[in-house]
């Protein structure tokens, strides 16, 4: 078995209940040595102990990059409220199953603080444009568009098309939120490959799988 084949990628759509079940099933059936999830320590702790409203508003007031992160979190939350699956449920499900079989757990996403710092360097116009679009997107989801959106995201090639569109409209943000994180995750997985002998199950958002695989492929050649 080649090194790359030791990694089983599980592509999930955040806030999708089927993704939660899929993450559980793959870990349970494959019994990997390591379960790697797209979380950093901060997000993991936030999932386990969600911050209160006052805590979140106190840390993010008046800062556009933080404001955008808040908007993205709200968008994901409204999607989660409708689908019945909170953001991160699929990651927590994989961690839970991993612990049940005695697997090592690896949090492989770039620290949130590094992502926010990188966003400070993105053009203010881009951040403003996306921030102004998000409330409408959140409203659409709350008004019943969530099922349509999830169905669309599950169609072949839909996630790739969406990513391409995002890269075209928001190149700076795409670099920070997608490409740089893909590189970070790939390096973490490369380290785990060198540090382990058994199977690795990597649970990643659907939009990251292609980039992580390509980055990992580069690191291995």
Please give the mean pLDDT across all residues of the chain.
84
Angle in degrees, CA 214, 154, 78, rounded to 5: 105
Q: How far is CA 61 from CA 54, 58, 75, in A?
A: 11, 6, 18
Q: pTM to 2 decimals?
A: 0.85
Instruction: Compute the distance between CA of residue 46 and CA of residue 178 in angstroms, rounded to an integer.
Output: 21
Sheet of strand 34-37, all strands in order from the earlier edge strand to the far edge: 7-12, 200-205, 34-37, 104-107
Is 27 in contact with 106 (CB distance < 8 Å)? no
pLDDT score for 82: 60
Contact 57, 69 (CB under 8 A): no
Per-residue pLDDT at 60: 45
87 pLDDT more than 90 = no
Residue-level pLDDT at 128: 83
Q: What is the mean pLDDT of residues 50-56?
A: 60
| Residue 48 to residue 37: CA distance in whole angstroms | 15
Model confidence at 63, pLDDT cuts 50, 70, 90, reads: confident
- pLDDT tens per residue across span 20-35: 999 999 999 999 999 9
Got the DSSP string for 88-134? THHHHHHHHHHHHTT-EEEE-SPPHHHHHHHHTTS-HHHHHHHHHHH
Q: Are 202 and 9 in contact (CB under 8 A)?
A: yes
pLDDT category at 16 given cuts 50, 70, 90 is: confident
């Amino acid at each position: 078995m080649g090194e790359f084949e030791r990694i089983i990628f599980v592509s999930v759509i955040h806030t999708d209940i089927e993704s939660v079940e899929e993450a559980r099933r793959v870990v349970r059936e494959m019994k990997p040595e390591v379960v790697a999830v797209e979380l950093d320590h901060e997000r993991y702790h936030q999932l386990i102990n969600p911050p209160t409203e006052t805590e979140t508003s106190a840390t993010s007031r008046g800062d556009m990059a933080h404001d955008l992160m808040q908007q993205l979190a709200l968008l994901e939350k409204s999607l989660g409220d409708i689908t019945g699956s909170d953001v991160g449920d699929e990651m927590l499900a994989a961690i839970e199953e991993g612990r049940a079989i005695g697997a090592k757990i690896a949090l492989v996403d770039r620290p949130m603080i590094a992502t926010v710092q990188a966003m400070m360097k993105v053009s203010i116009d881009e951040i403003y444009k996306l921030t102004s679009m998000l409330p409408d997107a959140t409203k659409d989801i709350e008004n019943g568009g969530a099922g349509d959106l999830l169905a669309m995201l599950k169609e072949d090639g839909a996630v790739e098309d969406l990513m391409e569109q995002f890269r075209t409209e928001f190149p700076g943000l795409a670099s920070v939120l997608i490409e740089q994180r893909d590189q970070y995750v790939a390096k973490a997985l490369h380290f785990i490959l060198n540090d382990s002998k058994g199977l690795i199950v990597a649970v990643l958002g659907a939009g990251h799988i292609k980039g992580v695989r390509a980055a990992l492929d580069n690191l291995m050649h």
